[in-house]
Amino acid sequence: MHMTNKGAAWGVFSSFPELLIIFRIILIGALFYWLLFYSTTRKYQIAVLIILTGAIGNVVDFFLYGHVIDMIHFTFWGYDYPVFNLADSMIFLSTLFIIGSGLISDGR
């Protein structure tokens, strides 16, 4: 399935694509800054690099096509999931890893 998305996840802020792209670029810059000057462990560095890769991929899509291209779609146990792309998956899974790692290490 081929879908386009001018907003963030599920089309949020699709009425403000210019503001969203500025926010994304600032966020990418902030993550690069953190990675260069504040990152502490290798596992977080790798997770942030994966997030950056996904975020940059979505920004490149926006500059090339004026929208992000979503193409992965599936139905699981009767639930029809929203269409997404590989970059979205990378961002989501790495963020989930960082949150999970933080919860596990705080629980010790």
Residue numbers annotated as active site? 70, 88
Q: Report the DSSP beta bridge partners of residue 76.
A: 79
C-alpha to C-alpha distance for 21 and 74, rounded to whole angstroms: 28
Q: Report the DSSP beta bridge partners of residue 3.
A: 70
